[in-house]
Structure 1
Amino acid sequence: MKTLRLFSLVSLLLLTNNLIAQENQNTEQIEVSSQSPTYKNLKKGALTFSLNASANNSEHIAGWSLTPQAGYVVADRLVVGLQMSVANRFSKRGNSWASFNRGGVREYAFTPELYARYYVLPFRLTPFVQLSSGYNIGQLSFIDGLSGSKVSISTNNYVMFGALGLSCRIGKYMGLQTQYNLPLLVDYEKNDMIRGNRFRLGLSLYFR
């Protein structure tokens, strides 16, 4: 009888210990799940910082662009903020794809913009849509073939862009992204450079 009671007591203790262990394990799993790098964790009040870049190199011309962004999450997965695009393009001497000897045509642009970006799904890999608008400040310069003098033309004008992209969270505070810019309101006679800077790759950081 005593043996039976002792066996029952030991069994009860083992069962209790097992239940406590399972409860602790479930709690840890919930905590880990809540910290998983998905866009479900991108809540209102977070800050985001991004850097997007593009480059192009053809037989006659080369160029690049950089766009740093700073944003605030005004609603879950909806970011509103400022971005500053800097772009440069120049012609190349000769007809070699690998040549970076600058020719006589040079163009630069600086474009401060307001932007809004929405991450469509709460998963680790999600598409996003973006709308941005601002004022392009730029200049196109070239050498006049007749006089040999340098000619500069202002390319300032109002611009608006849409963008479609895909973003992947690679950590709790970091994500990689690629996007394709869609010019919505652009003067192509002044801003032909924009045609070569549509595809962009970027890195984003997220903070609470």
Structure 2
Amino acid sequence: MHQSIEDELQRENLAAEQRMVHRIQRIMIECHKEKIEAVAKARDEERQLAQEAILAQKRKVMDEFINAGMTVVKDERKSVSKLVKEKEHEMNIYYCMAQRQKQEEVQEVLQEAEKAHQATLGNVMNKLVNTQDELVSVAQQLGIMTNWKDFLEEELQETRMAFQKYINFTFPKLAPGQADFILPERKKTPSNLIIPRETTRK
């Protein structure tokens, strides 16, 4: 009987130990499960925090980049504006130089044209003076010839009148026309010696 009691106690102890082992196993499984869930949750939280940190860092970097870009753009605008002003100043200098050179070229051309004009005018004036001298000389010669013509005409007229008086005195009884062989009528002036009126007007 004592042996049976011990066996019963052993069985109960074994059963209790088995229940304890099962309970410990369940607790260990639950702990492991909770540990896995806690680790997964912690990893999720860490991942989320890491993502938020990365996003925050990205935003910070982007803000810094944008600010730096704005600064660069402002600097570039200032540089471009300065460059444009420098180019405008340089173009103004080139324009003034080109304008001055153009004025000098125009002035040189005008001076050359004035020299040519003065030379041509001098030649024309010399020709006019020479022509005027020739005209004066011709006019003087014409005046002398006209004086000679008038003188000869007057002398011829006086000679004819004197000869007519001599005929009248010597042959008083001659009828008109009988003494024409002695003193014929004057010849008419040849046409080639008559200056047309239109020519004299010109």
What TM-score do the two structures reach when normalised by structure 2?
A: 0.28
Q: Which has the higher contact order (CA 8 A, sep 6+)?
A: 1
| Greater percentage in helix | 2
Structure of greater Rg: 2
TM-score by structure 1 length? 0.28
The structure carrying a bigger strand percent of its residues is: 1
